[in-house]
Amino acid sequence: MLKNSRLGTVAEIALIVLISAAAGIFWNRTQLADAWRGEPAQRIEAAPQAEALPMPIGLAQVKEMHDAGQAVLVDARGLDSFIKEHISGAIPLPVDEARNHPASLLHAMIPVDSIIIAYCNGFSCPDSMNLGKLLIKAGYSSVFTFEGGLPEWRDAGYPVAGNER
């Protein structure tokens, strides 16, 4: 008798779990199918804070646009680092300062329709991404981040400027 009732409870639990799983999977079938295909990867991040992110861009493209004068390179690091060394032709725009500038001042410094490439000290440094987000918020539409940053540029033997040359 006792054994029977225990077996019954187990069966009930299994049934409840099965029904719930079926309902949940059925109800979310499109989303689950998307997730299975690996599609909504950015939806997870986009959910809490829907903001536009700057596009990453590689060394070769940065060099090309730099040489053609198509893009404005902005240095997101502090001013000290900029004075020491920076990509030649880049303009300093430390992210902490940019945060305090009104959009109009930024627009006076950099035309709003220009292509912007933000960089800082390489892969582990968040400043270029933060500056890129900030510039997008300030109304710039073509903002890229060069994640390799100054180290990759310098190591490739491309032109740099600054005191430590």
Partner 1 sequence: MNSLKRYLPAALRISLGAIFIYAALPKIADPAAFAGSVAGYKVLPYFWNYLAAAVLPYLELVCGVLLVCGYRVKAAALIVAALNVAFMAALVSAIVRGLDIDCGCFRQGGPKTSPWIALGRDAVFLAMAGLVLWLERKRENGLVARR
Give contact residues for partner 1 (rule: CB under 8 A): 9, 12-13, 16-17, 19-21, 23-25, 27-28, 31-32, 35-36, 38, 40, 43-45, 47-48
| Cα 44 to the center of its chain, rounded Å | 14
Provide the CB-side half-sphere exposure for 77 (13 A, CA).
20
Strand, helix or coil for residue 120: coil
Is the Cβ of residue 44 or residue 68 nearer to partner 1 in the bound state?
44
Q: Position of tokens 């902005």?
A: 74
Q: Which SS3 state, helix, strand or coil, does residue 117 take?
A: strand
Rounded to whole angstroms, the Cα distance separating 92 from 36 reads 44
Considering beta carbons, is residue 16 or 83 the nearer one to partner 1? Answer: 16
Of the two residues 44 and 60, which places its CB atom closer to partner 1 in the complex? 44
Nearest approach in angstroms of CB 126 to partner 1 is 16
User: What's the closest the beta carbon of residue 42 comes to partner 1, in angstroms?
Assistant: 11
Least distance to partner 1 from the beta carbon of 131, Å? Answer: 24
Q: Write the burial class of residue 49 (CB in 10 Å: 0-12 exposed, 13-18 middle, 19+ buried).
A: exposed
Compare residues 36 and 102 and give the one whose CB is closer to partner 1: 36
Comparing CB distances to partner 1, the nearer of 28 and 70 is 28
Residue 85 neighbours by CB distance under 10 Å: 17
